[in-house]
């Protein structure tokens, strides 16, 4: 499964690894190097994070797109996925949509970063029952971590995709947004609602929108100026280091903003934080995300789960109560070192046979100004006496109920509740035993609804209004594979028809949170159109300027330590191995969704060395 297996440039070496990796953040260390951790898992070359030498990267969406979709919306969905990452205000990552090369099919070429639908397993990744829905092979220099080539391949041989939430299909824009995260050097996140989390279902658009943990990853690898804020600390159990603890920085509204994994010495580093106050806690990776979901072969990290969820504090043992945890102040561009080592609570209290652990939740998202009863399942939940979703705008509306494997509580969601993911927290306020589902619940606005448009016919340049409700500021319109700016006025969104081939088109309006409404076959374009494709590369979003020369051969530089990952390391020389991320089906669900439609978004890393002279 080597990306360049048919070339003579590289040869296979023994350190080949294939990973299904969900979660967080390990800038690990091999061969005696020190560990460093982030809220995202950076794809790694040994101890080095992967990164593009230039923060402006070209890509091409193959003009054929998905052969099952004929209206161009598949191409637009991919471009919107790249734009989601480009729109991160604290990151300088940007993209050039190279339409001059969209007819090429040689995705293995170094000078082409192609998004393509593989209908016949030409790539070799989708044979048998591998279950991969999409994959992002990445070639990199193992001496520096520099990404040399990356491509995104959809498995159109075995699975179906759509842009209109057709039953049994995967949403192209959601899957593409996840894969673009791999494309820029990120692995998975353990924050349940994050785009880079490994789990998603069919007919689901939630991965289209980046959460704070995703933003932290892009901002730390490609900072727009000085690196964001960092929290560092150490976690032990009975005085011994805890390796592979998931340590989370959660803001005062209960939003998990960034997280990390502790290294073999118990040290952790949570990067990409904005200035503010944070609650810090450490939890074991004992489900829904587990050690087997991580890219551990290249990092060598051991995941220790023999401890209980513990909140940092300045009291005895460096702990505080989950009912009122201490806060940590962070300044932008500064590193805050916790003044006390966190001494983790035991995994099992005396006499218990199962840890307190939340594994799934019944309701993933609820709209503001509504009521919801949140029900969770797990183990040891009858030892809890409190059930909270911390932060402003969520109010308990009744008493919680607890059983050994389930717990529930009604909540009222205020009209002004922040629309983002929140952590669900169950605990015992006397013993401080606790279980969390990090980012497991989302407050989300209702989807828009289109009722009609006018005029229904016209030429390129015609101004059209789409009438309906729920349109938000920043809504955009997709028509014929093109994304155009929408102007929101009252109960309508207006847009200007782009130059397209004459014909009848579906018009979709998408809100900034990725939810959309579509009017199928609603507009007929008359007259001539501009030629398909184009002869020049164009920006995929407002920040996309400049260009890069793909896969040049820079002068070799010494490898840098993982501690420098908040800004791109020095560029290394040519050569390198494969890597990347993908999506795979799994038969077991950590969420309250139909297991038959669950996705495991898996990272696949293949390490190769340079060809010997």
CA distance 220 to 216: 6
- Cα angle 9, 105, 12; round to 5: 25
Instruction: Look at residue 332 in the predicted model and tell me its pLDDT.
Output: 87
Structure tokens at 555: 């002068």
CA distance 356 to 200: 25
Q: Rounded to 10 degrees, what is the CA torsion of 308, 314, 316, 319?
A: -10
Residue 347 has pLDDT above 50, yes or no: yes
Summarised one tens digit per residue, pLDDT across range 530-569 is: 444 332 333 333 222 221 122 222 222 222 212 222 222 2
Phi, psi (rounded to 5 degrees) for 172:
-60, -45
Q: Give residue 378's pLDDT band: very low, low, confident or very high (50, 70, 90).
A: very high
CA distance 269 to 253: 21
539 strand-pairing partners:
96
Instruction: State the average pLDDT over residues 199-214.
Output: 89
CATH of domain 357-443: 2.60.40.10
Summarised one tens digit per residue, pLDDT across range 478-507 is: 998 899 999 987 789 999 999 999 999 999
Instruction: Look at residue 297 in the predicted model and tell me its pLDDT.
Output: 63
Give the CB-side neighbour count of residue 532, counting CA atoms within 13 A. 13
Instruction: Look at residue 370 in the predicted model and tell me its pLDDT.
Output: 95
Signed CA dihedral, 47, 49, 54, 57: sign only:
positive
C-alpha to C-alpha distances, 265 to 233, 292, 317, 324, 438, nearest whole angstrom = 11, 21, 17, 28, 24
Instruction: State the average pLDDT over residues 74-79.
Output: 95
CA distance 62 to 60: 6
Residue 312, SS3 per DSSP: strand
CA distance 78 to 63: 12
DSSP 559: P
Instruction: Look at residue 45 in the predicted model and tell me its pLDDT.
Output: 65
Comparing 357-443 with 449-530, is the CATH topology the same?
yes
CA distance 578 to 348: 41
Helix, strand and coil in the chain, % to nearest 5: 10, 35, 55
User: What's this model's pTM, rounded to 2 decimal places?
Assistant: 0.80
Percent share of the chain, pLDDT over 90: 62
DSSP 198: S
Structure tokens at 341: 């080592």
Instruction: Look at residue 595 in the predicted model and tell me its pLDDT.
Output: 26
Instruction: Look at residue 200 in the predicted model and tell me its pLDDT.
Output: 66
Of residues 558 and 63, more confidence is placed in 63
CA distance 420 to 448: 18
Q: Give residue 270's pLDDT band: very low, low, confident or very high (50, 70, 90).
A: very high
Architecture of domain 449-530: Sandwich (2.60)
What is the crossing angle of helices 73-86 and 172-183, to 10°?
40
Which of 426, 417, 437, 284 shows the shortest CA–CA distance to 364?
Answer: 437
Instruction: State the average pLDDT over residues 63-69.
Output: 94
Q: Give residue 71's pLDDT band: very low, low, confident or very high (50, 70, 90).
A: confident
Which of 387, 405, 519, 400 shows the shortest CA–CA distance to 464?
Answer: 519
Which of 307, 232, 297 shows the shortest CA–CA distance to 262?
Answer: 232
Instruction: Look at residue 458 in the predicted model and tell me its pLDDT.
Output: 96
Instruction: Look at residue 290 in the predicted model and tell me its pLDDT.
Output: 82
C-alpha to C-alpha distances, 260 to 66, 155, 186, 255, 282, nearest whole angstrom = 36, 31, 13, 15, 9
Strand order in the sheet with 487-489: 449-454, 463-469, 492-496, 487-489
Instruction: Look at residue 47 in the predicted model and tell me its pLDDT.
Output: 63
Summarised one tens digit per residue, pLDDT across range 2-19 is: 222 222 222 222 222 222
Residue 283 has pLDDT above 80, yes or no: yes
Residue 240 has pLDDT above 90, yes or no: yes
Instruction: Look at residue 531 in the predicted model and tell me its pLDDT.
Output: 41
Going from N- to C-terminal start, the domains of the chain cover 43-190+541-610, 357-443, 449-530
Residue 175, SS3 per DSSP: helix
Instruction: State the average pLDDT over residues 422-443.
Output: 96
Which of 163, 157, 184, 186 shows the shortest CA–CA distance to 175?
Answer: 163
Instruction: State the average pLDDT over residues 386-398.
Output: 93
Residue 241 has pLDDT above 60, yes or no: yes
Question: Which residues contact residue 276 at a Cβ distance below 8 angstroms, ignoring those fewer than 6 apart?
Answer: 251, 252, 329, 330
Tell the CATH topology of 43-190+541-610: Collagenase (Catalytic Domain) (3.40.390)
Residue 63 has pLDDT above 80, yes or no: yes
Structure tokens at 103: 């007819």
Q: How many residues does the chain have?
A: 613
CA distance 60 to 97: 6
Cα radius of gyration (the chain): 24
Helix (H) or strand (E) holding 213: helix 212-221
Of residues 42 and 518, more confidence is placed in 518
CA distance 273 to 415: 27
Instruction: Look at residue 552 in the predicted model and tell me its pLDDT.
Output: 27
Instruction: State the average pLDDT over residues 53-79.
Output: 95
- Most confidently predicted of 126-140, 250-264, 422-436, 595-609: 422-436
329 strand-pairing partners:
277
Average pLDDT across the chain, whole number = 79
DSSP string for 459-518:
-TT-EEEEEEE---TT-EEEETTEEEE-EEETTEEEEEPP---SEEEEEEEE-TTS-EEE
Q: Cβ(312)–Cβ(233) under 8 Å?
A: yes
CA distance 136 to 180: 8
* CB burial readout 120-142, b (16+ within 10 A) else e: eeebebbeeebbbbbbbbbbbbb
374 strand-pairing partners:
409
Instruction: State the average pLDDT over residues 432-441.
Output: 96
Helix (H) or strand (E) holding 118: strand 114-118
Question: Which residues contact residue 540 at a Cβ distance below 8 angstroms, ignoring those fewer than 6 apart?
Answer: 59, 79, 82, 83, 86, 95, 96, 97
Signed CA dihedral, 480, 486, 489, 490: sign only:
positive
Instruction: State the average pLDDT over residues 150-169.
Output: 94
């Amino acid at each position: 499964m080597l990306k360049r297996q048919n070339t003579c440039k590289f040869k296979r070496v023994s350190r080949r690894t294939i990973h299904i990796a969900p979660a967080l953040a390990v800038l690990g260390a091999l061969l005696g190097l020190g560990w460093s951790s982030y809220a995202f898992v950076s794809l790694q070359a040994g101890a080095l994070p992967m990164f593009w030498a230039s923060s402006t990267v070209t890509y091409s969406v193959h003009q054929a797109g998905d052969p099952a979709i004929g209206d161009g919306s598949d191409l637009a969905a991919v471009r919107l996925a790249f734009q989601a990452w480009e729109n991160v205000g604290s990151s300088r990552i940007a993209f050039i949509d190279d339409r001059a090369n969209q007819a090429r099919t040689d995705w293995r070429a170094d000078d082409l970063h192609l998004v393509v639908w593989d209908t016949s397993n030409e790539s070799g990744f989708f044979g048998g029952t591998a279950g991969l829905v999409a994959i992002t092979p990445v070639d990199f220099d193992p001496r520096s971590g520099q990404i040399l080539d990356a491509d995104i391949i959809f498995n159109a041989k075995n699975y179906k995709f759509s842009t209109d939430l057709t039953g049994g299909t995967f949403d192209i824009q959601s899957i593409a947004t996840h894969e673009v995260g791999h494309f820029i050097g990120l692995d998975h996140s353990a924050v349940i609602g994050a785009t880079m989390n490994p789990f998603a279902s069919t007919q689901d658009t939630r991965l289209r929108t980046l959460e704070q943990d995703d933003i932290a990853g892009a901002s730390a690898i490609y900072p727009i100026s000085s690196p964001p804020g960092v929290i560092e600390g150490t976690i032990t159990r009975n005085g011994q280091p805890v390796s592979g603890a998931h340590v989370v920085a959660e803001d005062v509204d209960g939003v998990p903003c960034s997280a990390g994994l502790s290294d073999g010495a118990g040290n952790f580093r949570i990067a990409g934080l904005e200035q503010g106050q944070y609650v810090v806690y450490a939890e074991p990776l004992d489900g829904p995300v587990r050690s087997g979901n991580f890219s551990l072969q290249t990092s060598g990290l051991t995941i220790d789960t023999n401890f209980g969820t513990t909140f940092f504090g300045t009291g005895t043992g460096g702990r505080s109560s989950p009912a009122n945890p201490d806060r940590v102040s962070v300044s932008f561009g500064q590193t805050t070192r916790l003044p006390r080592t966190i001494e983790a609570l035991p995994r099992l209290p005396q006499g218990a046979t199962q840890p307190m652990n939340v594994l799934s939740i019944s309701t993933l998202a609820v709209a503001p100004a509504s009521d919801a009863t949140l029900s969770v399942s797990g183990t040891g939940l009858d030892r809890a006496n409190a059930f909270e979703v911390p932060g402003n705008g969520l109010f308990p509306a009744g008493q919680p109920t607890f059983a050994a494997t389930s717990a529930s509580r009604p909540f009222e969601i205020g009209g002004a509740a922040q629309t983002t993911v929140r952590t669900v927290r169950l605990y015992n306020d006397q013993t401080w035993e606790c279980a969390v589902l990090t980012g497991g619940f989302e407050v989300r606005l209702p989807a828009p609804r289109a009722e009609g448009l006018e005029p229904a016919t016209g030429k390129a340049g015609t101004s059209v209004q789409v009438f309906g409700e729920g349109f938000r500021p920043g809504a955009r319109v997709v028509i014929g594979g093109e994304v155009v700016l929408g102007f929101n006025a009252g109960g309508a969104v207006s847009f200007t028809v782009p130059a397209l081939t004459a014909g009848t088109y579906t018009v979709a309006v998408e809100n900034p949170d990725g939810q959309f409404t579509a009017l199928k076959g609603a507009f007929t374009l008359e007259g001539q159109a501009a030629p398909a494709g184009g002869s020049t590369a164009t920006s995929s979003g407002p920040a996309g300027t400049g260009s890069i020369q793909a896969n040049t051969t820079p002068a070799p530089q010494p490898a840098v330590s993982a501690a420098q990952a908040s800004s791109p390391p020095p560029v290394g020389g040519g050569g390198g191995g494969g890597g990347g991320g993908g999506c795979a089906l799994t038969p077991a669900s950590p969420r309250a969704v139909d297991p038959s439609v669950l996705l495991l978004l898996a990272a696949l890393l293949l390490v190769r060395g340079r060809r010997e002279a």
